């Protein structure tokens, strides 16, 4: 079934009405979800019409419909990409066997843990971004923020569907807890580090959608290979939505850089702060922070969890089928740079134990492309400054490198050097205050705050000055 049933309370293409028990379970979770949205989702804009896209089909083209919607009326639903005939498990010990349509008993706990971890990030990001609407630099950006928010809400629905549908009572309990943890709450935090970091101004929002949503892309690519077919198909559809989030981050930071270039060229030799733009050095520090924090999201370099996920056929590598020939990954090793007892070394690790690092490598390469796109903006403006991705060892809280201190180039340094120099690498309190001071609401159609350039085009063929949000 590929067409979406919009007549039921919960839009879906999984024939929900034929499973009354599940339908009831989801319908009883729905009001709790809306309570959560209303209490910790975007503040104050729930009565406004917003030009949003909604999924209307799961086909590759034309799945999106654009119209004015109030956020609480957004049709959060359950969409899986269609079955592809007889799908086979594409990696691990079960390589070549039929993909699972229900949860294999022996993998139930690991699978639930993976799904819960994925699920937890979605509401966390909405919580992190909840106040940003008040300081939007334009209607265009305000609309993009809300598009990202409603889709992250939908990603939570996607995971909750899996939990409620396939994990019985403990799945229902997990679904409830997903609405109880809170980003940044010391007593009841979200599961992964980055999702507890404050995201209080738009430079952080753009860095988050650039670097943290990109973790989403790669984790979803790995889960889209899963032998558990409903998870794979859910993640495939989520990836189509994710592309826009990454676009928001990539072009958002790009437009901040563009604006700074313009101010520099118009006012040579002056401090861009006098004109309300953001100096490159500050932008670079925000990049350093969000890129390093998001690099932690792949877990430890050497991980028996990741080996188990792979062995069991639960979580593969990104582009497993296209990119690799040996899908069992039993032979061969991966050379990993390690840091143990205060020393850097190289170690050959059995491939399966290196899966976190392999995914992180893909992620870092993708980040690097984003940096190059930003540097082209400087180059086109005739400005010498070049942005750099911090080394993967820099500022890590997870894995080997969390046990030491490293500079932006990845050189091992001592704690005193770190303490004295960290302010050269990460945003200082004053710099954060400066960025925050620029965040004033700018919401006349076609107007943009002084610290960011307009986009090159609008959303869905609409002009840049379109009234994306009716205030
Ligand atoms: N912070 O073997 P290890 C997205 C924990 S983003 C805190 O190193 P493993 C989105 C780990 O849980 C995509 N804790 O790790 C983006 C384990 O704890 P337990 C999210 C961390 O298990 C933007 C312990 O350390 N999806 O969609 O191999 C907006 C040692 O485990 C962190 C997924 O992550 C951390 N950074 O790998 C909206 C996919 N890292 O169990 C949405 C599902 C590790 O010993 N998750 N730990 O208490 C996974 O595949 C794995 O859980 C991880 C960790 C890759 C995250
Ligand atoms: Fe998401
Ligand atoms: Fe996202």
Would you mind telling me the total number of residues written for the chain in this entry? 471
Q: Determine if ligand 1 sits within 6 Å of the CB of residue 13.
A: no
Query: Where residue 374 falls among pLDDT bands split at 50, 70, 90?
Result: very high
Flag whether the pTM goes above 0.95: yes
pLDDT tens, residue by residue, 265-321:
999 999 999 999 999 999 999 999 999 999 999 999 999 999 999 999 999 999 998
Q: Determine if ligand 1 sits within 6 Å of the CB of residue 303.
A: yes
Residue 270: φ, ψ to 5°: -95, 160
Q: Which residue lies with its CA nearest to atom 20 of ligand 1?
A: 118
Q: Determine if ligand 1 sits within 6 Å of the CB of residue 122.
A: yes
* Assigned token pair, 268: 């040579």
Q: Determine if ligand 1 sits within 6 Å of the CB of residue 298.
A: yes
Q: Which residue lies with its CA nearest to atom 38 of ligand 1?
A: 122
Distance CA 142, CA 381 (A): 27
Going along the chain from its start, the domains and CATH numbers come out as 84-139+157-458+466-470 (1.10.620.20)
Distance CA 383, CA 454 (A): 19
pLDDT tens, residue by residue, 216-264:
999 999 999 999 999 999 999 999 999 999 999 999 999 999 999 999 9
Average pLDDT over residues 3-15: 82
Average pLDDT over residues 72-93: 89
pLDDT of residue 1 exceeding 60, the answer is no
Distance CA 276, CA 260 (A): 9
pLDDT of residue 59: 77
Q: Is 270 helix (H, G, I), strand (E, B) or coil?
A: coil
Q: Which of 305, 306, 363 has most ligand 1 atoms within 8 Å of its beta carbon, as the pocket-test mutant?
A: 305
Distance CA 137, CA 451 (A): 8
Q: Determine if ligand 1 sits within 6 Å of the CB of residue 239.
A: no
Q: What is the mean pLDDT of the chain?
A: 95
pLDDT tens, residue by residue, 378-427:
999 999 999 999 999 999 999 999 999 999 999 999 999 999 999 999 99
pLDDT tens, residue by residue, 320-372:
989 999 999 999 899 999 999 999 999 999 999 999 999 999 999 999 999 99
Residue with tokens 């060892």: 393
pLDDT of residue 2: 57
Q: Is 404 helix (H, G, I), strand (E, B) or coil?
A: coil
Which ligand 1 atom sits closest to the C-alpha of 399?
8
Q: Which of 299, 303, 306, 312 has most ligand 1 atoms within 8 Å of its beta carbon, as the pocket-test mutant?
A: 299
Average pLDDT over residues 91-119: 97
228, 123 Cβ separation under 8 angstroms = no
Q: Is 353 helix (H, G, I), strand (E, B) or coil?
A: helix
Q: Say which residues have a Cβ less than 8 Å from residue 318's Cβ, sequence separation at least 6.
A: 218, 221, 222, 225, 359, 362
Report the relative pairing of strands 469-470 and 49-55 from DSSP bridges: antiparallel
**In whole angstroms, what separates CA 215 from the centre of its chain?**
5
- Per-residue burial over 382-398, b if 16 or more Cβ lie within 10 Å, else e, is ebebebebbbbbbbbeb
Q: Determine if ligand 1 sits within 6 Å of the CB of residue 193.
A: yes
Rg of the chain's alpha carbons, rounded to an integer? 22
pLDDT of residue 85: 80
Query: Where residue 471 falls among pLDDT bands split at 50, 70, 90?
Result: very high
Q: C-alpha distances in angstroms, 174 versus 49, 79, 119, 132, 290?
A: 33, 20, 10, 28, 28
Q: C-alpha distances in angstroms, 62 versus 25, 47, 357, 460?
A: 31, 28, 36, 12
Average pLDDT over residues 125-133: 98
Q: Is 333 helix (H, G, I), strand (E, B) or coil?
A: strand
What dihedral angle (degrees, nearest 10) is formed by the CA atoms of 228, 229, 233, 239? 30
- Torsion sign, CA atoms 329, 330, 333, 334: positive
Q: Is 54 helix (H, G, I), strand (E, B) or coil?
A: strand
């Amino acid at each position: 079934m590929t067409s979406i049933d919009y007549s039921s309370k919960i839009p879906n293409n999984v024939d929900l009405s034929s499973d009354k028990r599940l339908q009831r379970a989801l319908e009883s979770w729905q009001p709790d979800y809306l309570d959560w949205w209303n209490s910790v989702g975007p503040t104050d804009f729930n009565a406004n019409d917003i030009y949003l896209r909604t999924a209307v089909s799961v086909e590759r083209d034309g799945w999106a419909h654009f119209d004015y919607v109030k956020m609480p009326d957004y049709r959060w639903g359950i969409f899986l990409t269609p079955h592809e005939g007889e799908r086979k498990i594409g990696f691990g010990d079960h390589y070549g066997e039929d993909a699972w349509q229900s949860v294999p008993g022996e993998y139930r706990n690991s699978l639930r843990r993976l799904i819960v971890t994925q699920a937890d990030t979605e509401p966390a990001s909405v919580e992190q971004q909840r106040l940003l609407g008040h300081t939007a630099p334009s209607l265009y950006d305000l609309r993009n923020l809300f598009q990202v928010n409603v889709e992250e809400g939908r990603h939570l629905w996607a995971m909750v569907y899996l939990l409620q549908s396939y994990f019985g009572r403990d799945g229902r309990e997990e679904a409830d807890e997903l609405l109880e943890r809170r980003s940044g709450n010391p007593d009841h935090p979200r599961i992964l580090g980055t999702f507890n970091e404050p995201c209080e101004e738009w430079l952080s929002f753009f860095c988050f959608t650039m670097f943290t949503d990109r973790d989403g892309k790669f984790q979803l690519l790995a889960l889209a290979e899963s032998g558990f077919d409903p998870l794979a198909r859910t993640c495939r559809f989520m990836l189509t939505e994710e592309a826009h989030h990454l676009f928001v981050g990539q072009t958002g930071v790009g437009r901040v850089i563009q604006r700074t270039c313009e101010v520099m060229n118009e006012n040579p030799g002056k401090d861009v702060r006098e004109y309300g733009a953001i100096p490159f050095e500050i932008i670079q520090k925000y990049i350093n922070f969000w890129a390093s924090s998001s690099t932690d999201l792949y877990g430890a370099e050497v991980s028996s969890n990741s080996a188990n996920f792979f062995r069991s056929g639960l979580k593969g590598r990104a582009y497993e089928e296209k990119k690799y020939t040996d899908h069992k990954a039993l032979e061969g090793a991966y050379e990993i740079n390690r840091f143990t007892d205060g020393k850097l070394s190289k170690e050959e690790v059995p491939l399966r134990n290196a899966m976190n690092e392999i995914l992180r490598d893909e992620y870092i390469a993708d980040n690097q492309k984003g940096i190059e796109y930003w540097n082209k903006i400087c180059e086109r403006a005739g400005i010498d400054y070049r942005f750099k991705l911090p080394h993967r060892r820099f500022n890590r809280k997870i894995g080997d490198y969390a046990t030491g201190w490293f500079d932006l180039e990845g050189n091992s340094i001592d704690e005193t050097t770190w303490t004295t120099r960290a302010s050269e690498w990460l945003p200082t309190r004053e710099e954060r205050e400066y960025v925050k001071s620029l965040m004033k609401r700018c919401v006349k159609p076609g107007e943009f705050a002084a610290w960011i350039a307009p986009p090159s085009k609008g959303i869905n063929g609409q002009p840049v000055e379109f009234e994306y949000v009716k205030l």
